[in-house]
Amino acid sequence: MRNTAKITTAVLAAGALTLGLSACGAGDSGSDGPLIVAASPAPHAEILTYVKDNLAKKEGLDLEVKEFTDYVTPNTATQDGSVGANYFQNQPYLDDFNKKNGTDIVPVVTVHLEPLGLYSHKVKKVDALKSGATLAIPNDTVNEARALKLLAADGLITLKAGVGNEATPSDITKNPKNLKFKELEAAQTPRSLDDVDAAVVNGNYALESDLKPAKDALVLESPKDNPYGNFLAVKKGEENDPRVKKLAKLLTSPEVKKFIQDKYAGAVLASF
């Protein structure tokens, strides 16, 4: 993540928070206690809450859901044991996070995909974007690259051949509309819609902002061969925790698939 100051502040804040959680005993990894899972509010915490309220008791799982609105704290809390697992991220993001932070968090089971979308309060079709329009995009490494790939797939820009998950606006080789880019923390992109011409918004933040991806997005990421499925993750070595195994089973159950289909109507897609 290129904004060092922001990330440093976030990590320090996360450290303070996780110390507080540890003091309350939340870091106990014993299989007799509740499994505490850090999650983004929507759809992750909503899916977990459905599991907690409807499926967990029958499976003998004591599940506790803690909501976080950033993409840093769930991993730092998982790493230091303040929570037992998290559910909010995809593989490219986790690979980048582990590399940059020296963490060893691993995926357990992939549950769903939230298609990334381009939204606007000012135009109703992507073709209506004017020359010189300003687009907000996430500023973390993986989501910025993902946003640029979305724009490239729709022909708005062309990216350098072979560019991977570290693509930045400097990798744009063709920009017919002379688009300008405003790099923001992912959570801020939907809030910027009144100030920019359009914004690329992660699926969970779109849902939290009452945006309906299947209806409102000018451009929506294709689920075909998509590497950005969101999964349950734990610190390496905790994969065999009986509670984690129970939750992984429930998160990929027919009941959860139906819940996702019924509640999100295509805004969230089950990956199993």
What pLDDT was estimated at residue 103?
98
66 bridge partner residues: 38
For residues 10 and 68, the answer to whether their CB atoms sit within 8 Å is: no
Task: Provide the angle, in degrees to the nearest 10, between the axes of the packed helices 91-101 and 141-153.
Answer: 150
pLDDT under 70 in the chain at which residues?
Answer: 1-31
Query: What confidence score (pLDDT) does residue 88 get?
Result: 97
Query: What digits encode the pLDDT tens for the residues 11-66?
Result: 434 444 443 443 333 444 456 799 999 999 999 999 999 999 999 999 999 999 99
Q: How far apart are CA 266 and CA 206, in angstroms?
A: 13
| Residue found by looking up tokens 């730092």 in the block | 76
pLDDT value, residue 30: 56
CA 157 – CA 233 distance, rounded (Å)? 34
End-to-end CA distance of the chain: 30
Bridge partner residues of 269 (DSSP): 113
In what helix (H) or strand (E) does residue 214 lie, and over which residues does it extend?
helix 213-216
Give pLDDT, residue 20. 40
What pTM does this model have? 0.74
